[in-house]
Structure 1
């Protein structure tokens, strides 16, 4: 009986592992899933909501776009 439980637990673990491997996102958290990711140390995504990992919860404005395009610059855009 213990051997059957051990085998069932092993099968359950294997199925869970395969499910997690299949659903794993190989990209970075800030990048969209279809955004190319290279091995460069400076990971910078393109500007705009289509390049974001999570879509914006509200309407994307011109100020949002200007701020996104200016990052990581030290000076804020003039649309504020």
Structure 2
């Protein structure tokens, strides 16, 4: 009888830990690409600047660079 209670409590604890680990993190706030979305847009903007902005925060430079 006591063994069943202990096993049941352990199972409930495992379920609670599993449910807690499945929670999704809050969504990230990401700025859209382009100079219109910047606080201080640069005076000039070309296709290379656009490709760089769209690829951020990737570690590789865009193919048009």
Bin the TM-score by the shorter chain. 0.5 to 0.7
1:59 aligns with 2:44: yes
Runs of 4+ in 1 over 6 A off after TM superposition: none
Q: Deviations over 1:5-58 (max 9, x none)?
A: xxxxxxxxxxxxxxxxxxxxxxxxxxxxxxxxxxx56332000000001121x3
Number of equivalenced pairs: 40
Equivalent position SS for 2:39 = coil
Higher helix share: 2
Offset of residue 68 of structure 1:
0.1
CA RMSD between the two structures: 1.5
Q: Secondary structure at the match of 1:65?
A: helix
Query: Any gaps of 5 or more consecutive residues in structure 1?
Result: 1-39
Q: Which of 47, 62, 65 pairs up with 2:33?
A: 47
Q: Return 5+ residue gaps in structure 2 as ranges.
A: 1-25
